[in-house]
Amino acid sequence: MNKKNIVIYANKEKGSMGYTLLLDGQTKRTYKIYHKEYSQILYWSYFLGALVILRSLQSFTISVDNPIFMLAIVIFGAIFSILIGVFIHSKSASEIKEIYPTNEMLKEYIEKGRKKFKFEIMLMVVLLLGSFVCLIIFLINNLLILLLFFFLLFIAIGILGSNFSIARFQIYKKGLE
């Protein structure tokens, strides 16, 4: 497996282990990557911890007189948040194995992946719009919680954007060659 792998389809149904199908751009081999299952207790612990932190920061404001410093915080925070998202995404794989689908099955997966890709693009647009709304309101009111929401949305953008590539778009547009 190499770095030229192209995501063609991802699936996560309730009660089953999620997986992602990758197509090797050079050898045309297909791989199935199983996603890690996380404990619900751990998930809810993080969620409650985040709620407590956000609740305590609700009324905090940031007063920065230097707009260049504020711009640097926003830019570096956004870049760092995206990198965190990419790191989280890279740690979500648990097991990788080669599979041998027929051409018809592969075309079906690509078609299903194309539909999900459209949804992912719409979700990415919504996340970007939401993050910029949080940023604009933060710049007006200087509420720290809005800056944190901006960074959280950029972490989600990093997670989602990890699967985006030109090669993926080309496969969905042209199909297998």
- How does pLDDT run across 9-67, given as a tens digit for each residue? 888 777 667 888 888 877 888 888 888 776 678 767 877 887 787 777 776 667 667 78
Q: Taking 60 as the threshold, does the pLDDT of residue 159 lie above it?
A: yes
Q: Going by DSSP bridges, is the β-strand pair 19-24/5-11 parallel, antiparallel, or unpaired?
A: antiparallel
Query: Rounded mean pLDDT of the chain?
Result: 83
Question: What confidence score (pLDDT) does residue 23 get?
Answer: 83
**Percent of the chain topping pLDDT 90:** 18
pLDDT of residue 176: 66
Which pLDDT score, from 0 to 100, does residue 80 have? 92
Place of tokens 């954007």: 161
Q: Which residues contact 160 (CB under 8 A, 6 or more apart)?
A: 85, 120, 123, 124, 127
Handedness of CA 139, 140, 145, 150 (dihedral sign): negative
Rounded to 5 degrees, φ, ψ at 59 are: -105, 5
For helices 144-161 and 67-90, give the axis angle rounded to 10 degrees: 40
Which amino acid type is present at position 7?
V
The tokens 């199935």 sit on which residue? Answer: 32
What is the pLDDT, as a whole number, of residue 3? 57
The arithmetic mean of pLDDT across residues 86-92, rounded, is: 83
Q: Which two tokens stand for residue 57?
A: 């920061």
Domain ranges of the chain: 5-174
Q: Which residues pair with 32 in a beta bridge?
A: 21, 97
pLDDT at 136: 92
